Amino acid sequence: MTTLDRSTPDARDVSQVTYTITELAQEFDITPRAIRFYEDMGLLTPARDGRNRVYTHRDRTRLKLTLRGKRLGLSLQEIKQLVDMYESPSDTAQQLNAFLAILQAHRDQLVQQMEDIRVTLEEIEQHEERARNLLAEAGR
């Protein structure tokens, strides 16, 4: 494996830097199993050196974007679409418009979930009030 010492000035050429699954797992505070899962989903495609996975700077960037998408609550399908767009040589405006469309759809979904939660909380309050009234009547 050609892993460079990332602490030296010679390590600036990121195209030559490689990572092990353990290094990426530690850096991003996730498990190696999570990284393998992202591979299974087609989000990462590491090279192999015998039985060992060899991750490039490209893989690291894709993992970083994947985790960012997860934090935003995007589905793995949406994340894959965005990550694939990131590497596409196509028009940047088209990529940004697609990105905005995905974010808007996700925002709409979250707004609907907030409304559903608000309605559910109102129902819970009504049930609590009814239960308290029944307890008060039973105590008389």
Lowest mean pLDDT among 60-64, 76-80, 93-97: 93-97
Q: Give the pLDDT score at 127.
A: 98
Q: How far apart are CA 35 and CA 41, in angstroms?
A: 10
Find the mean pLDDT for residues 93-104. Answer: 87
Q: How far apart are CA 71 and CA 64, in angstroms?
A: 11
Q: Give the pLDDT score at 118.
A: 98
| 3-state secondary structure (DSSP) of residue 54 | strand
Q: Give the pLDDT score at 139.
A: 83
Does the structure show a pLDDT above 80 at 8? no
**pLDDT (tens digit, 9 = 90+) per residue, 35-55?**
999 999 999 999 999 999 999
For domain 1-73, give the fold. Answer: Multidrug-efflux Transporter Regulator; Chain: A; Domain 2 (1.10.1660)
Does the structure show a pLDDT above 50 at 2? no
Tell me the domain boundaries of the chain.
Answer: 1-73, 88-140
Find the mean pLDDT for residues 62-82. Answer: 92
Q: Give the pLDDT score at 76.
A: 92
* Higher per-residue confidence, 88 vs 139: 139
Does the structure show a pLDDT above 70 at 126? yes
| Amino acid code (one letter) for 104 | Q
Does the structure show a pLDDT above 60 at 68? yes
Percent of the chain with pLDDT over 90: 66
pLDDT confidence tier of residue 1, bands split at 50, 70 and 90: very low
> For tokens 């030296």, what's the residue?
8
Q: Alpha-carbon dihedral of residues 101, 106, 109, 114, nearest 10 degrees?
A: -130
